[in-house]
Amino acid sequence: MTKANPIWIGMKYISLLIAVFVVLYPPYIIVANAFKTPDEYLTKSTMSLPDSFVHFSNFADAFSQADMGRAFGNTIIIVCVTLLLNVLIGASFCYAVTRFKFKLQGPLVGLFLFATIIPQITTQVINFKTIQGLGLTNHLMGPTLLYVGADILQIYIYMQFIRNIPYDLDEAAMMEGASLFKIFYVVILPLLGPATATIIILKTISIYNDMFTPFLYLTKPELVVVSTSLMRFFGSNSGNWQMVSAAILIIMIPTAVMFVFLQRYIFAGVTQGAVK
Amino acid sequence: MLSRLPFETQKRIIIVSFIALPLLLLLTFSYYPALELIRLSFTNWDGMSQEKDWIGFANYREVFTNPEIFGVFKHNIAYFVVGIVQNIAAIYFAIVLNGKLKGRYFFRLLLFLPYILNGVAVAYLFGYVFDTTDGSLNFLLGKLGLGGETSWLGSESFVNYTLASIGFWRFMGFNMVIYLAALQSIPADLYEAASIDGANNWQKFRFITVPNIYKIIELNLFLTVTGALEVFDLPFVLTNGGPAGASETFVMKIIETAFQFNDYGLASAMSVVLLIAVVVVLSIQRYFLNRGRD
């Protein structure tokens, strides 16, 4: 860190190159095979590159066979409804518990913070019965309700954020005769922008990548989401690797693209979310 | 209209209306299931019938004495071991990328990339990589003259390490980014002062870096342990617990017991055991953390 030691510098770059290789080598095989025609797939070695990278028919076939149009549609519905409810419910809750003093405030906040130690995966057995009792198994709103109700990440993030908004702003608005409701959605809510961006990104990634919930709650074919579409497609195409490779790539690309464009928010969000 | 009400009344309306719904959700999906789990774990409920009999600790006895159930915890050990190595690698790369280095933003971006990819897609991707005949890992090993016919996912003795290594690939960058954030919050003058006092790089690491990121190391270790206890999707998607149940994990057992064998009582007892294991790990961590602060 002080003097540039050539051995240390060399070691750093060599270890980074190894790491880059380890990260990129696994995806190489799907990129190489997703573009191969059936003939190429049979005649060429697995590791060789295809003749052309504009052979998209595997992608088109995988997309239609795995019913991905519907899968993306359903996933988007779940993500949008979850985010909308999470942001509204989370922000308003945090406004109420951070801006006002009232009886049982401490225990109430403690109740929310304590809940994070209950691993969600253990309560699935009971939550399944609850969702079933509400008639929401095999209904897109079943997983949505779980995503909204069982995760309290947004409460952590909003609570820290609202505490840092100076109370003078509220007071100034009160002087001008604004109601407390108005202060919430005209003053506080817009200032929560960066926290909301973090929550939107983290939640979108976690819902998009979740397999457990849709697998358990959405078993009907027409309620397929991204993760389950790939599982079903693999089930009927196992061994047919050039098709599976194309399907894997289609599923991986949206979050990868999102990452490249929103990396700043993602890094910030991941750190905040973990250190909560 | 609302602004005509006195603030005290407005305040009351806001508190009640803004808190009622999240509180209801919290109670329904976090506390009720936790308590209900405990109650059901003492019964033989099958998940459907009206009646459930109180059977005392029989389910717990079953969990701890049946090697088919408690024994699967040893499959989770592989994830823990690999998780520790993963943390060491993460600290190393965090330190490397925290220094002055050409292309460090690119490296950070690339190493983190696997974390945000869809888990099922990653699982099948590695299904191809580990494929015995067509897989790219055996191809590479063959080229290097290290043999090339290993059945990575078909061997009972190391299938869990194979699966855990996918976890390494996926989560190392995530751990690294958290360490990196912690490193960046260490004031640079600490290092400068140490240099003036003649400290070498190892001493700086040992006496400045480690104490300053201690809390984050503990956090990451906690995530590693609970992650290892709760493994589900990789073995479920890739091997479905095979070969011969060698890669079954505790959570897979719970799901199977509840939803295939309809033994909700036993599944609840297993969930309670897992819940307690996680709470114990967390308490130990909090204890050491608070002791460190005093």
| Partner B contacted by A130 (CB < 8 A) | yes
Cross-chain residue pair B191–A205, CB shorter than 8 Å: no
Cross-chain residue pair A12–B101, CB shorter than 8 Å: yes
> How do residues A134-166 score in pLDDT, each as one tens digit?
999 999 999 999 999 877 888 888 888 898 888
> How do residues A206-230 score in pLDDT, each as one tens digit?
899 999 899 999 999 999 999 999 9
- Name every chain A residue with its beta carbon within 8 A of the beta carbon of B267: 125
B146–chain A nearest CA distance, Å: 17
The predicted model scores a pTM of: 0.87
Mean pLDDT on A56-69: 89
Cross-chain residue pair A125–B264, CB shorter than 8 Å: yes
Give pLDDT, residue B3.
Answer: 62
Q: Give domain status of residue A192, yes or no.
A: yes
A188–chain B nearest CA distance, Å: 14
| Phi, psi (deg, nearest 5) at residue A258 | -55, -40
Cross-chain residue pair B121–A267, CB shorter than 8 Å: no
User: How does residue A268 score in pLDDT terms, banded at 50, 70 and 90?
Assistant: confident
| Partner B contacted by A21 (CB < 8 A) | no
Checking if the pLDDT of B293 tops 70, the result is: no
Checking if the pLDDT of B294 tops 50, the result is: no
Q: Could you tell me the domains of chain B? A: 2-65 (no CATH), 67-290 (1.10.3720.10)
- Name every chain B residue with its beta carbon within 8 A of the beta carbon of A146: 29
- Name every chain B residue with its beta carbon within 8 A of the beta carbon of A96: 14-15, 18-19
Q: Give domain status of residue A123, yes or no.
A: yes
Q: Give domain status of residue A23, yes or no.
A: no
Q: Give domain status of residue A27, yes or no.
A: no
| Partner B contacted by A154 (CB < 8 A) | no
Checking if the pLDDT of B290 tops 60, the result is: yes
The tally of domains found in chain A comes to: 1
Give pLDDT, residue B289.
Answer: 67
CATH code of the domain containing A236 = 1.10.3720.10
The residue range of the domain holding A134 is 68-274
Q: Give domain status of residue A39, yes or no.
A: no
Q: What is the DSSP string of chain B?
A: -GGGS-HHHHHHHHHHHHHHHHHHHHIIIIIHHHHHHHHHTTB---SSSS---B-TTHHHHHHHH-HHHHTTHHHHHHHHHHHHHHHHHHHHHHHHHHSS-TTHHHHHHHHHGGGGS-HHHHHHHHHHHT-TTT-HHHHHHHHTTS-S---TTT-TTTHHHHHHHHHHHHHHHHHHHHHHHHHHTS-HHHHHHHHHTT--HHHHIIIIIHHHHHHHHHHHHHHHHHHHHT--HHHHHHTTT-STTTT--HHHHHHHHHHTS--HHHHHHHHHHHHHHHHHHHHHHHHHHHHHH-
Give pLDDT, residue A1.
Answer: 47
Q: How far apart are CA A168 and CA A173, in angstroms?
A: 9
> How do residues B22-77 score in pLDDT, each as one tens digit?
999 999 999 999 999 999 999 888 888 877 888 888 889 988 888 888 888 888 89
Cross-chain residue pair A256–B223, CB shorter than 8 Å: no
Candidate from B110, B191, B216 with C-beta closest to A23:
B110
User: How does residue A276 score in pLDDT terms, banded at 50, 70 and 90?
Assistant: low
> How do residues B182-214 score in pLDDT, each as one tens digit?
898 888 888 889 989 888 888 888 888 888 888
Count A/B contacts: CB-CB distance under 8 Å. 245
Q: Give domain status of residue A42, yes or no.
A: no
Cross-chain residue pair A179–B113, CB shorter than 8 Å: no
Residue of B nearest to A183 (CA): B3
Averaged pLDDT score across all residues of chain A: 87
Give pLDDT, residue A2.
Answer: 47
Mean pLDDT on B225-254: 87
Three-state SS sequence of A49-102: CCCCCCCCHHHHHHHHHCCHHHHHHHHHHHHHHHHHHHHHHHHHHHHHHHHCCC
Q: Give domain status of residue A231, yes or no.
A: yes
Checking if the pLDDT of B117 tops 50, the result is: yes
Q: Give domain status of residue A214, yes or no.
A: yes
ipTM, two decimals, is 0.88
| Partner B contacted by A261 (CB < 8 A) | no
